[in-house]
Amino acid sequence: MKLKNGAEYMESLRKIKPVVYFKGKRIEDVTRHPATAPHVRAAAMTYALASDHEHRELATATSHLTGRTISRFTHVHQGVDDLIKKIKLLRVLGQKTGTCFQRCVGCDGINAVYSVAYEIDEKHGTSYLDRFKDWLMHIQDENLMVVGAMTDPKGDRSKGPADQPDPDQYVHVAERRDDGIVIRGAKLHMTGGVNSHEILIMPTSAMREDARDYALVCAVPVDAPGVTMIFGRQASDDRRDKKERIDSGTPSFGAVGGEAVIAFEDVFVPKERVFMDGETEFTGTLVYRFAAHHRANYGACKTGLMDVLTGAVSYLTQIQGTSKASHVKDKITEMIHLNETLYSSSIACSAEGWPTPSGAYMVDTMLANVCKQNVTRFHFEVARLAVDLAGGLLATLPSQYDLESEEVGHLVRKYFSGVAGIPTEHRMKISRLIEAMTGSTALVESMHGAGSPQAQRIMILREGELEKKIKLAKALMGIPQKG
């Protein structure tokens, strides 16, 4: 792997010059700008663990293409063991960052595209998989970060891609040339987009034959001509400067994953970087497999985050002198129970994995959807319990400026103190961490990341095998199967 640690990853980002805007102004260096730097540091942790003796087995894998050691985030899963190791890695990273570390979407996209490209080639005699392998070996050897780009703006959602008044509401092929294609459109909510090296573009949904120009998979460098990114706002992002490290909540790693709009304005993509072009019948399969892989992740990365949140609340109750109360113990027990239930879902759908015709392994899709459906409920309940135990100071806590003020600092230290011997600053820090982890941005991502709750319910019902269950009930009671 060319990029072996977090420092090398950051240096690699300084060498490329993507067009990134935040609050109407161009960001020249995402590794140093206060809005983006925390997210860069979170992603850098994925590189750090690969060099760490304790976690190297989880964070790295052996490439089935080259036999070389690679980052697990660039690996095509070759068995159930790979699926489970990825889940364990995600929990560790969640624990170490307390936020999103951004490389999961690219990994899931790589695995979905690999298996589907194989099946397109089998049916149509194309050479998409060979192209994809060449690109992937480059990604693996350089250890590049890939942002998986799936969600389109969608415009008028009562209309499909081909029926939109503005065709750019879905990424599409605007022109075909002998040596490649020209694309237009945008992708939204792109986690880690501004600090990735490559963009893997995928269709956002199953498509009809008349949407051939939208059935597109390709890879584009983040600094390709015509690519523009607009970095999204997050709760309390104006607190992220050196003077407000306490008030920022998570000063080292930021909140959630640092999402961006990525616009493509007549971007040329060479033929060797195109992995689907018009094969509409495979778009549903691609989305289905990507979504299952990504939904499986949430019971792991969010478990790591909730480990941190549970620890933060437990420490705060110690500071406040309430940790021994029976109702406090009961609520923390419930937080742990919900957390481990989520983790068991991720492990289960990985343990039940199966090989696609390409040899790449898939998670159990039913259990993956159940896992993500539980995230949309359990994470909110854990956050509710955390806010309950923390108390009203989450909403009324004075700022770091007040703590350090010569005029009122002594009042803050006195009236926000708790158990003797623990500095008021510790109570403020841990309270801000809880505020950041239970704020709107984090929970919105848990609700809508990898698809809205309704998307999982559709898949759960589709794979629920109701007819099989009816037959089981009839057999048990001796009712004729055809009656």
Which among 256, 262, 266 has a CA at the least distance from the CA of 188?
262
Least confident interval from 104-108, 265-269, 336-340, 446-450? 446-450
Q: Does residue 63 form part of some domain?
A: no
Cα–Cα distance for residue pair 371/87, rounded to 1 Å = 12
Catalytic residues: 100, 104, 191, 259, 294, 298, 301, 445
Q: Does residue 407 form part of some domain?
A: yes
Q: Does residue 298 form part of some domain?
A: yes
The answer, yes or no, to whether residue 256 has pLDDT greater than 80, is no
Average pLDDT over residues 378-402: 92
Q: Does residue 338 form part of some domain?
A: yes
Cα–Cα distance for residue pair 254/241, rounded to 1 Å = 11
Q: Does residue 231 form part of some domain?
A: no
Domain CATH code at residue 327: 1.20.140.10
When the pLDDT of each residue in the chain is averaged and rounded to a whole number, the result is 93
Is the separation of the CB atoms in 119 and 357 below 8 Å? yes
Structural domain count, the chain: 1
Q: Does residue 265 form part of some domain?
A: no
Q: Does residue 175 form part of some domain?
A: no
| Residue range(s) defining the domain that contains residue 306 | 286-473
3-state secondary structure of 165: coil
pLDDT classification of 470: cutoffs 50, 70, 90: confident
How far does CA 83 lie from the centroid of its chain?
16
The answer, yes or no, to whether residue 442 has pLDDT greater than 80, is no
Within 13 Å and on the Cβ side, how many CA atoms surround 209? 0
Q: Which pair of tokens denotes residue 361?
A: 């392994």
The answer, yes or no, to whether residue 392 has pLDDT greater than 70, is yes
Percent of the chain whose pLDDT exceeds 70? 97
How far does CA 300 lie from the centroid of its chain?
11
Q: Which amino acid is residue 231, in one-letter code?
A: F
Listed in sequence order, the residues at least 6 apart from 1 whose beta carbon sits closer than 8 Å to its beta carbon are: 50, 60, 69, 70, 71, 140, 141, 142, 143
Beta bridge pairs of residue 304: none
**Structure-model confidence comparison of residues 471 and 9, the more confident one:** 9
Which among 94, 434, 148 has a CA at the least distance from the CA of 297?
94
pTM for this model (two decimals): 0.92
Q: Which pair of tokens denotes residue 257?
A: 């994953």
Tens of pLDDT, residues 170-181: 999 999 999 999
Is the separation of the CB atoms in 332 and 388 below 8 Å? no
- The whole-number pLDDT of residue 445 equals 73
Which among 334, 293, 340 has a CA at the least distance from the CA of 115?
293
The answer, yes or no, to whether residue 241 has pLDDT greater than 80, is no
Q: Which amino acid is residue 57, in one-letter code?
A: E
Least confident interval from 64-78, 346-360, 393-407, 436-450? 436-450
Tens of pLDDT, residues 3-61: 889 999 999 999 999 999 999 999 999 999 999 999 999 999 999 999 899 999 999 99
Q: Does residue 305 form part of some domain?
A: yes
Compute how many other C-beta atoms are within 10 angstroms of the C-beta atom of residue 62. 13
Least confident interval from 117-121, 298-302, 458-462? 458-462
- The whole-number pLDDT of residue 92 equals 97
3-state secondary structure of 26: strand
Burial of 435 (0-12, 13-18, 19+ CB in 10 A): buried
